[in-house]
């Protein structure tokens, strides 16, 4: 059993520790006093958050939360079985503890006692089962269906124990239960109501109008005594980047996300404004369709990978708010990142030419389909790539596709496109989502027998050293044989006024402190 | 007058035909767009099974004509259906936003129409003077900046100092004066955007008439220039002016999505664009019908007024 | 104080522009043959300034590759470099030379805008006048079709069509021209309707003049003024339409430089008082003002007013 998956109830008694984040393994090593000395969270105030997402067609249905607005809103009113802390380690939330069978295929979750929903209903195993089942099954309309597909059976043992059976061993299963879709909602007759705002999270929803605002007040019966410091939350969708920045400067909101990277250096100069940047697992990718020529030839793919100036992309597209990628999707925030074991790939026009020659070509014409729907700056990134790859004999024609319909019409339809991944907390989750042969979101249609074999073996392997070895080999495979260019990891860049205080470490797994700004931050 | 009443009746009937054709066109065009609601809502997370499940659930697997006929049947009975995205009744989603949109349009029009008429008349009166050239150049400059750019400049000047709010938040129970204050920047942006067009048309239409013999005559009789313009030129220049005003009013109702986005104003334009990108057909259709009705009604009003202003059209043979 | 300084600068700009206009007029008068020169001599300073600006834009557009110091999409240095002797207007967010982008932008934007406006006016005017003259079913048919098209907000209309037909320059031109033509049609029709009931048209009809002759000889000259005024504005609306479409990712394809897209890309800078987006926006504004100064002159001439 690894440290992260076998966590006894005693370790997580949060009340003895101060602050919001000091709960990972690191906290046990640090002298406790150091953290206690840093700013003491204060109660009070209404936090106004300006989000760069949110539209009039957002809904309360957990299966449809597809943008950061819905996700932060969900996390403000709901709890999950498990929580990922700022250090990327797994923490108990509604599940007090969990145990795996020896093959990691059966998981037993102990559900926390004494948790109530905003409506006053007490949470028990039935609610947990209904909340998970909502995403499963033939008729599921949930975007989270693929990640719970591995569950073959789920049942309760008594009122506060849930037993989940998987079709195969998965050492990271409790991580999956922290996914933002799988919120704990109250069950009625064995099913949840997907249109309810009722939850057991830190804030109670007073008012929600899609695309306009959400207003919430603190849940007086919240079971975590050291979280949820604000009296209330106002969550506003401000999609236009300049409008968002100006709302912050003029004091109409306290925090914004998705700071416009073109002007972040100017925003920094504004008085009373702090820019907050966290580097995490979010990365921008350019998948190439490996099923057909020319990308069926690995030499062409390698040529492309060498013809990209990653440093320039990070500097100009991300304005330095990010780090270079090494053509595999595992970030430094992950446990088994290869680190120095794999050499960083750099721009090398000669090498690219050499690979092209191996493929029997002197030059090649390629078309790259991009849109800012894939990620902000994708079109500009394409232009920069095309300027640099020309020296290697790769004539890259950049086509800007309409943002509207990009995911259904261009992505996984055209041979060379732009895409992004928010990243996943575990290697297995990331790899089996987008790199395993034949899975739905394998955007490059890449197939590699050795990779699939390692993925299956690592999934049920409980020995950390062996897992590391396997995951490092897989990162190398994706880097050198894979069909995806992964030039950069993008930071989450937020800004807030001086009145707002944050924990010492802000979670890098998602924007807004892992979506949990509402319960983790406070007014100084 | 009977002629005018007949024209109104005829045009209203034609208006309904227009609405019908618009609904068919929009339905068809949304159909032709790549992807449907199921694919749009799932985006990057789509799998074939979940897409099929959503389509089954919402009846999107039915053929085009079946869905259109059932939508039309509902509308004829006053039922605009529910939003595909969040299940709310479309009427409920739209009512409040329609009010907001009309409020902003009227607010901007109340500033822009008198301003542009006055400027246009003055420019015609003092034609070719430095006043004429300057007001023209300024109006043209403001119109040649994209809306979002005008909005940003106003934000820089008026919002960063805290004089006016940069995002509009319309809470329940705020006074009318407060609402006017909070909506000032978007209304001013729209005013700047539409003024030049109406002003220049007013000026051009008046100047166009100034060489006519009857104006010549009035002048020779020793009438003051302002009186000549107001009493003799303006009434005959009304038709093109009314037309351009109607066109701009229609624009203020239907075309202000960019301003709505920048000032986070909860109007219909934003709802329309969001719903198009989600392929939320019932909402798209309802908003399109509102926009089309606004256009048809304003147009009809303009035509009626033009007819009334021109005796020759009144008594057409 | 700063207001005073801005007013001073503004005055200097106005005086400078007028001086340029005067110089240019003197030059043209000297160069042109006698009869043409006479007309030009009477042109107001604003009009000659307008002609000068248009001429400069056209020259820049035609000779863009010769004038531009760098290649259109060439990355020449770091991002947002300040104005200096190498990069006269600095560099943009990708490190491309701003001056070069502006020069190529003139070629692409002005060219496309001109084609679109000309197309829209040709189609719109012909159909509008025809509808007014022929009347009856043709008028009803055309007017109602135009009503349907105009009843759909233009941004939504363009969004739908461009998403369906793709975003090549050709479809961009056709879609915006269609949208604009409907507006021109309405104006042309309503103006012509006012003219058609005039006595001299009645007389021409009785003389047995054909429809085409009636339109080109009798109605068009008298409907010209509002149409010309509209042309000046429509021309600049095209820039705005392109800019609005790049807001939705449907504008001109990268790395082609166009002013509308450049305003949009740099617009956020203005909220920090950075003047970069004023370059493309100002270029559009200057051209708009120049075109309309010339339009005003023509309007004045055609109105027959002597003062």
C154, closest residue in chain B (CA to CA): B255
Question: Of the ranges A272-281, B202-211, B243-252, C109-118, which one carries the lowest mean pLDDT score?
Answer: B202-211
Please state, in angstroms and as integers, the Cα–Cα distance from residue B214 to each residue in A370, B210, B218, B221, B228, following that order. Answer: 63, 9, 6, 11, 10
pLDDT at position A486 is: 96
Q: Are A435 and A446 in contact (CB under 8 A)?
A: yes
pLDDT at position B304 is: 87
Best-predicted range by mean pLDDT among B98-107, B121-130, B141-150? B98-107
The answer as to whether B122 is a domain residue is yes
Burial class (CB within 10 angstroms; exposed 0-12, middle 13-18, buried 19+) of C31 = exposed
- Provide the token pair at C286: 């200057």
pLDDT of B26 strictly over 80: yes
Strand pairing class (A46-51; A255-256):
parallel
pLDDT of A405 strictly over 50: yes
Asked whether the beta carbons of residue C248 and residue A405 sit closer than 8 angstroms, the reply is: no
pLDDT of B275 strictly over 50: yes
Q: How confident is the model at residue A423 (pLDDT cuts 50, 70, 90)?
A: confident
Cα separation of B267 and B246, whole Å?
A: 20
pLDDT tens digits for A470-518? Answer: 999 999 999 999 999 999 999 999 999 999 999 999 998 899 999 999 9
Share of chain A above pLDDT 70, in %: 93
CA distance C46 to chain B (A): 8
Please state, in angstroms and as integers, the Cα–Cα distance from residue B113 to each residue in B56, B150, C45, C292, following that order. Answer: 50, 19, 30, 21
pLDDT at position B316 is: 54
C 164-193 residues inside an 8 A Cβ radius of A: 167
pLDDT of B210 strictly over 80: yes
SS3 label, residue A95: strand
The mean pLDDT value of chain C amounts to: 86
The sign of the dihedral angle between the CA atoms of A315, A317, A322, A325 is negative
Asked whether the beta carbons of residue C183 and residue B247 sit closer than 8 angstroms, the reply is: yes
pLDDT at position A458 is: 93
Partners of residue A417 on adjacent β-strands: A369
pLDDT at position A1 is: 34
Between residues A422 and B313, the one the model is more confident about: A422
Neighbours of chain B (3+ CB pairs under 8 A): A, C
Q: How many domains does chain B have?
A: 1
Q: How confident is the model at residue A7 (pLDDT cuts 50, 70, 90)?
A: very low
The answer as to whether B164 is a domain residue is yes
Biggest alpha carbon–alpha carbon distance for chain A? 71
B299, closest residue in chain C (CA to CA): C147
Q: Residues C170-187: what's their mean pLDDT?
A: 91
Asked whether the beta carbons of residue A140 and residue B35 sit closer than 8 angstroms, the reply is: no
pLDDT of A92 strictly over 70: yes
Between residues C264 and C129, the one the model is more confident about: C129
Residues of chain B contacting C258 with CB distance shorter than 8 Å: none
pLDDT at position A401 is: 87
Cα separation of B42 and A89, whole Å?
A: 29
Asked whether the beta carbons of residue B146 and residue C240 sit closer than 8 angstroms, the reply is: yes
pLDDT at position B315 is: 63
- Provide the token pair at B132: 């004429």
Asked whether the beta carbons of residue C94 and residue A384 sit closer than 8 angstroms, the reply is: yes
Between residues C203 and A117, the one the model is more confident about: A117
pLDDT at position A499 is: 94
Best-predicted range by mean pLDDT among A180-184, B174-178, C196-200, C262-266? A180-184
The answer as to whether B228 is a domain residue is yes
pLDDT of A20 strictly over 70: no
Backbone φ and ψ of C125, nearest 5°? -70, -45
Share of chain A above pLDDT 90, in %: 72
Q: Residues B42-52: what's their mean pLDDT?
A: 82
Backbone φ and ψ of A421, nearest 5°? -135, 130
- DSSP string computed for C196-231: HTSHHHHHHHHTT--HHHIIIIIIHHHHHHHHHHHH
pLDDT at position A22 is: 33
pLDDT of B241 strictly over 70: yes
Q: Are B168 and B189 in contact (CB under 8 A)?
A: no
Cα separation of C173 and C185, whole Å?
A: 17
Q: With DSSP H G I counted as helix, E B as strand and the rest as coil, what are the percentages for chain A, rounded to 5?
A: 30, 20, 50
Whether the bond into A294 is cis, omega within 30 of 0: yes
Cβ neighbours of A318 (radius 10 Å): 23
Between residues A8 and B103, the one the model is more confident about: B103
Here the ipTM equals 0.87
Asked whether the beta carbons of residue C292 and residue B258 sit closer than 8 angstroms, the reply is: no
Q: Are C296 and B136 in contact (CB under 8 A)?
A: yes
3-state secondary structure string, A353-370?
HHHHHHCCCCCEEEEEEE
pLDDT at position C307 is: 54
Q: Are A399 and A410 in contact (CB under 8 A)?
A: no
The answer as to whether B303 is a domain residue is yes
- Provide the token pair at C303: 């109105």
Q: Which of C152, C226, C281 sits opposite B205 (nearest CB)?
A: C226
Q: What angle do CA A447, A453, A458 make, to 5 degrees?
A: 125
Cβ neighbours of A132 (radius 10 Å): 20
pLDDT at position A31 is: 36
Q: How confident is the model at residue A17 (pLDDT cuts 50, 70, 90)?
A: very low
Domain range holding B200? 90-314
The answer as to whether B8 is a domain residue is no
pLDDT tens digits for A172-193? Answer: 999 999 999 999 999 999 999 9
Residues of chain A contacting C267 with CB distance shorter than 8 Å: 242
Q: With DSSP H G I counted as helix, E B as strand and the rest as coil, what are the percentages for chain C, rounded to 5?
A: 80, 0, 20
Q: What's the CATH code of the domain at B275?
A: 1.10.3720.10
Question: Of the ranges B286-295, C79-88, C116-125, C248-257, which one carries the lowest mean pLDDT score?
Answer: C248-257
Cβ neighbours of B16 (radius 10 Å): 11
pLDDT tens digits for A190-234? Answer: 999 999 999 999 999 999 999 999 999 999 999 998 999 999 999
Residues of chain A contacting C249 with CB distance shorter than 8 Å: 371-373, 379, 400-404
pLDDT of A438 strictly over 80: yes
Q: How confident is the model at residue A34 (pLDDT cuts 50, 70, 90)?
A: very low
Please state, in angstroms and as integers, the Cα–Cα distance from residue B208 to each residue in B226, B245, C215, following that order. Answer: 16, 18, 19
Burial class (CB within 10 angstroms; exposed 0-12, middle 13-18, buried 19+) of B14 = middle
The mean pLDDT value of chain B amounts to: 88
Q: Residues A270-293: what's their mean pLDDT?
A: 92
pLDDT of A30 strictly over 60: no
Partners of residue A421 on adjacent β-strands: A283
Q: How confident is the model at residue A3 (pLDDT cuts 50, 70, 90)?
A: very low
Asked whether the beta carbons of residue A263 and residue C268 sit closer than 8 angstroms, the reply is: yes
DSSP A92: E
CA distance B234 to chain A (A): 42
Q: How confident is the model at residue B58 (pLDDT cuts 50, 70, 90)?
A: confident
Cα separation of A521 and B240, whole Å?
A: 59
DSSP A9: G
Q: Residues A239-250: what's their mean pLDDT?
A: 91
- DSSP string computed for B202-245: HHHHHHHHHTSHHHHHHHHTT--HHHIIIIIIHHHHHHHHHHHH
pLDDT at position A68 is: 92
Domains of chain C, start order: 1-42 (no CATH), 50-303 (1.10.3720.10)
Burial class (CB within 10 angstroms; exposed 0-12, middle 13-18, buried 19+) of B114 = exposed
pLDDT at position B237 is: 86
Cα separation of B108 and A90, whole Å?
A: 54
Q: Residues C167-190: what's their mean pLDDT?
A: 90
Q: Residues B141-145: what's their mean pLDDT?
A: 84
pLDDT of C4 strictly over 70: yes
The mean pLDDT value of chain A amounts to: 88
pLDDT at position A448 is: 95
Measured N-to-C along each axis, helices B90-125 and B268-278 cross at an angle, to the nearest 10 degrees, of 130
pLDDT of C142 strictly over 70: yes
* A318–chain C Cβ distance below 8 A for any pair: no
pLDDT at position A252 is: 94
Q: What angle do CA A51, A54, A56 make, to 5 degrees?
A: 145
**C304 Ramachandran zone, left/alpha/beta (phi>0; psi -120 to 50):** left
The answer as to whether B7 is a domain residue is no
Cβ neighbours of A344 (radius 10 Å): 10
Helix (H), strand (E) at residue A134: none
The answer as to whether B79 is a domain residue is no
- Select from C226, C234, C261, C306 the residue whose CB has the most chain B CBs within 10 Å, as the one to mutate to test that interface: C226
- Provide the token pair at B208: 């166009």
Cβ neighbours of A493 (radius 10 Å): 23
Q: Are A347 and A385 in contact (CB under 8 A)?
A: no
The answer as to whether B97 is a domain residue is yes
- Provide the token pair at B155: 């934000």
- Provide the token pair at C159: 């969004």
B315, closest residue in chain C (CA to CA): C197
pLDDT tens digits for C143-163? Answer: 889 989 988 888 888 888 888
């Amino acid at each position: 059993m690894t440290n992260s998956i076998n966590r006894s109830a005693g370790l997580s008694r949060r009340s003895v520790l101060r602050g919001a984040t000091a709960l990972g393994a690191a906290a046990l090593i640090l002298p406790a006093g150091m953290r206690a000395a840093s700013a003491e969270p204060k109660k009070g105030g209404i936090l106004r958050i300006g989000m760069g997402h949110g539209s009039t067609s957002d809904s309360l249905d957990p299966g449809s939360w597809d943008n950061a607005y819905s996700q932060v809103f969900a996390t403000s009113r709901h709890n999950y079985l498990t929580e990922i802390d700022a250090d990327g380690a797994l923490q108990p939330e509604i599940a007090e503890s969990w145990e795996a069978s020896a093959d990691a295929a059966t998981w037993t979750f102990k559900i926390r006692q004494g948790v109530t929903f905003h409506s006053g209903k007490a949470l028990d195993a039935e609610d947990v089962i209904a909340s998970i089942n909502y995403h499963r099954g033939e008729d599921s309309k949930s975007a989270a269906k693929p990640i719970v597909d591995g569950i073959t059976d789920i049942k309760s043992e008594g009122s506060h124990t849930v037993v989940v059976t998987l079709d195969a061993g998965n050492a990271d299963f409790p991580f999956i239960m922290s996914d933002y879709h799988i919120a704990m909602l109250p069950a009625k007759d064995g099913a949840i109501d997907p249109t309810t705002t009722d939850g057991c999270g830190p804030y109670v929803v007073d008012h929600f109008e899609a695309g306009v605002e959400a207003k919430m007040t603190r849940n007086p019966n919240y079971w975590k005594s050291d979280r949820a410091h604000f009296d209330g939350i106002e969550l506003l969708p401000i999609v236009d980047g300049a409008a968002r920045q100006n709302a912050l400067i003029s004091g109409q909101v306290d925090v914004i996300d998705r700071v416009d990277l073109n002007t972040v250096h100017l925003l920094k100069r504004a008085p009373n404004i702090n820019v907050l940047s966290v580097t995490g697992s979010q990365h921008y990718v350019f998948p190439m369709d490996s099923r057909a020529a020319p990308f069926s030839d690995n030499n062409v793919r390698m040529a492309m990978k060498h013809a990209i100036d990653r440093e320039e992309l990070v500097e100009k597209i991300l304005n330095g708010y990010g780090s270079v990628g090494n053509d595999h999707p595992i970030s430094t925030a992950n446990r088994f990142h290869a680190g120095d074991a794999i050499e960083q790939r750099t721009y090398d026009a000669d090498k690219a030419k050499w690979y092209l020659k191996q493929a029997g070509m002197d030059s090649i014409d390629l078309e790259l389909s991009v849109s800012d729907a894939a990620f902000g700056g994708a079109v500009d990134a394409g232009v920069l790539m095309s300027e640099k790859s020309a020296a290697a004999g790769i004539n890259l024609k950049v086509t800007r596709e309409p943002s509207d319909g990009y995911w259904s019409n261009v992505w996984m339809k055209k041979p060379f496109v732009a895409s992004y991944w928010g990243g996943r907390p575990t290697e297995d989750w990331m790899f089996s989502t987008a790199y395993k042969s034949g899975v739905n979101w394998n955007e490059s249609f890449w197939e590699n027998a050795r990779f699939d074999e390692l993925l299956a073996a690592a999934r049920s392997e409980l020995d950390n050293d062996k897992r590391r070895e396997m995951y490092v080999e897989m990162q190398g495979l994706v880097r050198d044989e894979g069909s995806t260019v992964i030039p950069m990891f993008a930071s989450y860049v937020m800004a807030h006024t001086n009145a707002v205080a944050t924990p010492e470490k802000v979670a890098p797994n998602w924007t807004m402190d892992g979506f949990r700004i509402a319960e983790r931050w406070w007014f100084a | 007058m009977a002629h005018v009443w007949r024209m109104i009746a005829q045009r209203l009937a034609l208006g309904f035909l227009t609405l019908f054709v618009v609904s068919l066109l929009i339905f068809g065009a949304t159909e032709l767009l790549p992807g449907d609601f199921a694919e749009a809502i799932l985006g990057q997370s789509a799998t074939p099974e979940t897409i099929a499940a959503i389509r089954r659930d919402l009846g999107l697997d039915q053929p085009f004509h079946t869905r259109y006929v059932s939508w039309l049947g509902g509308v004829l009975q006053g039922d605009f259906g529910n939003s595909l995205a969040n299940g709310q009744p479309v009427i409920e989603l739209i009512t409040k936003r329609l009010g907001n949109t009309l409020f902003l349009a009227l607010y901007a029009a109340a500033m822009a129409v008198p301003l542009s008429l006055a400027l246009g008349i003055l420019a015609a009166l003092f034609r070719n003077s430095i006043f004429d050239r300057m007001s023209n150049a300024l109006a043209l400059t403001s119109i040649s900046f994209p809306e979002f750019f005008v909005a940003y400049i106003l934000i820089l000047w008026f919002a960063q100092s805290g004089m006016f709010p940069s995002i509009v938040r319309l809470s329940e129970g705020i006074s009318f004066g407060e609402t006017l204050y909070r909506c000032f920047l978007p209304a001013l942006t729209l005013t700047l955007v539409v003024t030049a067009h109406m002003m220049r048309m007013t000026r051009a239409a008046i100047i166009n008439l100034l060489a006519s013999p009857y104006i010549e005559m009035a002048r020779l009789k020793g009438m003051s220039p302002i009186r000549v313009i107001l009493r003799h030129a303006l009434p005959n220049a009304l038709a093109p002016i009314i037309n351009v005003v109607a066109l701009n009013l229609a624009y203020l109702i239907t075309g202000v999505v960019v301003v709505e986005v920048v000032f986070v104003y909860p109007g219909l334009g934003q709802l329309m664009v969001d719903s198009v990108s989600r392929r939320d057909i019932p909402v798209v259709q309802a908003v399109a019908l509102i926009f089309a009705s606004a256009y048809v009604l304003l147009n009809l009003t303009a035509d009626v007024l033009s007819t009334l202003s021109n005796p020759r059209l009144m008594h057409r043979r | 104080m700063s207001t005073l300084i801005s007013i001073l600068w503004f005055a200097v700009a106005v005086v400078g522009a007028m001086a340029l206009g005067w110089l240019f007029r003197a030059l043209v008068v000297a160069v042109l043959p006698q009869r043409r020169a006479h007309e030009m001599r009477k042109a107001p300073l604003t009009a000659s300034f307008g002609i000068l600006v248009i001429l400069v834009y056209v020259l820049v557009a035609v000779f863009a590759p010769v004038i531009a110091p760098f290649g259109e999409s060439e990355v020449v240095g770091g991002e947002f470099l300040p104005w200096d002797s190498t990069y006269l207007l600095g560099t943009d967010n990708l490190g491309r030379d701003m001056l070069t982008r502006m020069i190529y932008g003139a070629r692409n934007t002005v060219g496309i805008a001109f084609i679109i406006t000309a197309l829209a006016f040709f189609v719109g005017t012909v159909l509008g006048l025809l509808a007014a003259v022929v009347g009856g079913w043709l008028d009803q048919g055309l007017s109602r079709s135009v009503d349907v098209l105009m009843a759909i907000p233009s941004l939504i209309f363009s969004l739908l069509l461009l998403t369906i037909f793709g975003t090549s320059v050709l479809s961009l031109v056709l879609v915006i021209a269609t949208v604009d033509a409907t507006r021109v049609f309405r104006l042309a029709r309503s103006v012509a309707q006012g003219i058609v009931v005039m006595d001299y048209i009645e007389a021409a009809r009785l003389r047995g003049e054909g429809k085409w002759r009636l339109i080109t000889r009798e109605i068009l000259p008298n409907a010209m003024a509002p149409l010309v005024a509209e042309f000046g504005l429509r021309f600049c609306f095209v820039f705005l339409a392109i800019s609005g479409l790049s807001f939705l990712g449907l504008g001109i394809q990268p790395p082609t430089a166009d002013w509308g897209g450049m305003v949009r890309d740099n617009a956020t800078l203005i909220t920090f008082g950075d003047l970069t987006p004023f370059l493309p926006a100002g270029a559009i504004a200057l051209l708009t003002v120049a075109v309309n100064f010339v339009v005003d002159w023509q309007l004045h001439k055609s109105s027959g007013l002597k003062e």
